[in-house]
Homo-oligomer: A and B are copies of this chain.
Amino acid sequence: MLTYQLKKAPGVPLYESLYQCIRADILSGRLAPGQKLPSKRALAANLEVSKITVEGAYAQLLSEGFITAREKVGYFVEALEAPPSPPSIPAQPEPEDSDYIDLTGGGPGKFPFSVWSRLQREVMLDYGESLLRPLPNQGYAPLRRAIAAHLGAFRGMNVAPENILIGAGTDFLYNLLIQLLGRDKIYAVEDPGYGKILKIYAASGAGCLAAPMDSLGVMPETLENAHVLHISPSHHFPTGQVMPTQRRLELLNWAARGDRWIIEDDYDSEFRFDARPLPALQSLDRAGRVIYMNTFSKSLAPSIRISYMVLPPALMARFQEKLGFYGCTVPSFEQYTLERFLSRGHFEKHINRMRKLYKNRRNRLVELLNSSPISDKITILEKDAGLHFLLRFDTEESDETLTERFWAAGIKIQPLSAYYHGPAPEEANHCLIVNYDRLSDENLEKLERRLELLVR
């Protein structure tokens, strides 16, 4: 006779526990195929539960095909194909925080909480149920209009909202682009550059090419085999270079010479300090070959996963035809909130505030470095734009050793050479990349002391 200790768990009916026990025995083989189960009354008595409990369990087992009922005879264990046996694999550990001063970047550390949450409440009250209506796959139309207006005012771009596509982060947009432009194409990225981009193109099965740069940027003559070029002309990472108009036009003509595309990654153009940012490459493009891409993760908060791209009209038409079945990946609620944040001028205010903050932080950092114990060993390069600059060391040390000494002193930092897809050229050695976007005032203080550890 079957005997189980039926444990009473909150929210779990008793018949459920009984069902689980019998099911486990059938799957384990402890109850053999064809074996007859005790009658409901007998089992109920044996387990000291009500007959209804047993009935519930049997009914469930019946409905799932674990047992069969034979009229006037009873219940029998079904002959089930035995499930395969389990493998044993270790689990993945969780990532953890640390006490490092992080100069490897990761987006802004300030966010206009009060404004944002006020807008969230408003949106919830004003739109209610309509927040549940599915949005167009390109994203909430008023948000696209607000983005177009922003691009017009801040980047001198003339963009039609219907050519904007909103997505949950640039990684996702890259994936869409590869499906749109084709995996059979060769995607060229800047060398040095942000390695993740190449990884994403590679993971999607596209051909990849690391295009070397001169002082103006990537060189058209190295791109003859490429079909798609991914660049950040307004502020290259990690060199900080700004591409002059001449080279921009050369690249536009490279693109116009074939079925070629340029992806303009404009990720931190909001943060030029000493001059107005250069106009976007997209606003020079009259052949419809430039795909403009930007994100609010850098300018607003990394935890806000809203990026967008501006497609040339022909390409947007192709997207709707080929990939129009994809739904928009950004929650409506965030899109409605961001729309208000933009159209009511909060984003502009926020950007201006951040620009001041970053400029001060950068100046304090530069000052600190120039008066630090390592001041006589360093030169600061390309510090006029964006959220990072380069630190060139007058040293014989390898970049590995140099970087390791910083980490040992509690400073997370990366060498420029690490961003080359091949071996770095001589002039790229002995350079560290200083991202100060996440550097808090508190850490700025700490940094001074930690730099002293370096020269001990």
Q: Which residues of A contact B (CB under 8 A)?
A: 11-12, 16, 20, 27, 60, 63-66, 78, 80-87, 89-95, 97, 106-109, 111, 113, 116-117, 120-121, 124, 128-129, 131-136, 138, 141, 153, 156, 160, 162-163, 168-169, 171-172, 175, 179, 183, 196, 199-200, 203-205, 244-246, 249-250, 252-253, 256, 275-276, 278-279, 284-289, 301-306, 312-314, 316-317, 320, 322-323, 325-334
Contacts and interface: CB of A to CB of B under 8 A. Distances in A.
Given A80-B249, A92-B320, A323-B203, A124 B117 contact: yes
A288 B89 contact: yes
Q: How many copies does the complex hold?
A: 2
A284 to B, nearest CB: 6
A111 to B, nearest CB: 6
A332 B306 CA distance: 12
A162 B91 contact: yes
A90 B153 contact: no
Given A83-B286, A124-B113, A196 B325 contact: yes
A84 B253 contact: yes
Given A66-B245, A132-B303, A325-B196, A81 B331 contact: no
Nearest to A335: B303
A78 B246 contact: yes
Contact of A95 (B136, B253, B276, B326): B136
Which label, helix, strand, loop or mixed, suits the secondary structure of the A interface?
A: loop
A322 B203 contact: yes
Nearest to A244: B65
B113 A128 contact: yes
A84 B256 contact: yes
A184 B285 CA distance: 37
Given A64-B279, A168-B329, A90 B249 contact: no
Contacts of A64: 244-245, 278-279
B329 A171 contact: yes
A162 B94 contact: yes
Nearest to A156: B20
A140 to B, nearest CB: 10
